[in-house]
Structure 1
Amino acid sequence: MNDDKPFYKHHVFFCLNEREGKDCRPSCGKSGAEAAQQHAKKRVKELGLNGPGQVRINKAGCLDRCEEGPVVVIYPQGTWYTYVDNSDIDEIIDRHLVKGEVVERLKI
C-alpha cells in the first residue's frame, strides 16, 4: 500500500447531527442533511465516481459548525461547504469532485 496517496481522492462527510430541545444550538440533521447525503451518494454512484481511489460519501456525527450549516467537508483538501438544496449539492459534486474547483459561493 502506498502511504503517500489517500485511499479516496475525495472523502466527503455530511454532518447529520440532530440536537433536541427548544434552547439547543442549530443542528444539521434538522436542516435536511440526511436527504442531502443520500442524494450525493446516489449521484456520485450514477456518475461512476464511487469506490476506492475515487469518491466516498459518508455520514458524520457533529462536525461542530452547525451555526454555519448544514455542513459538508471534503478531505483530503479540508474544504468546508454549506448548502440549501440538491442543486447546491450537485454544484459541489460537478465542480469540486469532478473538476477539482472550489465552489466559493458555498465555502465556509
Structure 2
Amino acid sequence: MKFKKHVFICTNDKEAPKKSCGSVHGMELVEAFKASLKEKGLQLDIRAQKSGCLDACAFGPSMVVYPEGVWYGNVQLSDVEEIVESHLVNNQPVERLALKFPARA
C-alpha cells in the first residue's frame, strides 16, 4: 500500500439549493491539510486530496479518512490541526466531528 491513510475532502460545487462543500471552503481545507502534512513530513505516508461529491451535502464541508472509513462533517479550517494530530497521527478519530450514518438493512 502506497499510503497509510488517504483523506478525501469534498470540493464539489453545484447549482442547487442544498449546501455545497466547494463553495463553503472545500478547496481551502484541501490546501490546509496538504500544508499541515508537508510541515510534519507526513506527505509520503498520508495523502490529502480533493474529491467530487461524497453525498453528505447536508453535513458539509465533508470528508472521509481511509482505510478506517471515518467520515467528518462541518469541518472548519480551525479543525484541520486537530484532525491531523488526533486522527491521522495518533489514530484517534475526532468524535465531535465524526458523522454517524444509520445502518443499512
Mark yes or no: TM-score above 0.5. yes
Q: Partner of 1:9 in structure 2?
A: 4
Using the size of structure 1 for normalisation, the TM-score is 0.86
- The residue type paired with residue 15 of structure 1 is C
Counterpart among 17, 35, 46 of residue 42 in structure 1 = 35
Using the size of structure 2 for normalisation, the TM-score is 0.88
- The residue type paired with residue 28 of structure 1 is C
Taking every aligned residue pair, what percent have the same amino acid on both sides?
A: 42
Mapping of 1:1-108 within 5 angstroms? Answer: 6-21=1-16, 24-51=17-44, 54-108=45-99
The alpha-carbon deviation at position 25 of structure 1 amounts to 1.7
Structural RMSD (CA): 1.2
The alpha-carbon deviation at position 74 of structure 1 amounts to 0.4
Q: Partner of 1:3 in structure 2?
A: none
Contact 1:83/1:89, CA 8 A, preserved across alignment: no
SS in 1 for 2:83: helix
The alpha-carbon deviation at position 84 of structure 1 amounts to 4.2
Structure 2 gap segments, 5+ residues each: 100-105
The alpha-carbon deviation at position 101 of structure 1 amounts to 0.3
Structure 1 gap segments, 5+ residues each: 1-5
